[in-house]
Amino acid sequence: MNQFLKNWLLYPWPRKGYSLSDQNGSIAKQRPSSEQQKIVHQQLNKGETVSAIARQFNTSRQTIMRIQDKS
């Protein structure tokens, strides 16, 4: 067995960290609803940054850019 894999299997903290962050919603982010997407379009038209909008809706910048590309 690979030494890295042995260490990973014996070292529980990374897995515990992933489960804790998953419970807090840090890993899986939500996709904005259709109503929220309209708000995203309005904010983009006003000149707000993609990063600021992504933080506001708790989603990734890539998701906001996909919404931007649809318009």
The answer to whether residues 27 and 18 touch, using CB atoms and an 8 Å cutoff, is yes
Q: Looking at the chain, which residues constitute the CATH 1.10.10 domain(s)?
A: 31-71
The CATH fold of domain 31-71: Arc Repressor Mutant, subunit A (1.10.10)
pLDDT at 50: 95
DSSP string, 16-66: HHHHHHHHTTSSSPPPP-HHHHHHHHHHHHHT--HHHHHHHHTS-HHHHHH
pLDDT at 9: 67
pLDDT at 11: 64
pTM of the model: 0.58
Indicate if the pLDDT at residue 70 is higher than 80: yes
pLDDT tens readout for residues 3-39: 776 666 666 655 555 555 555 555 556 678 889 999 9
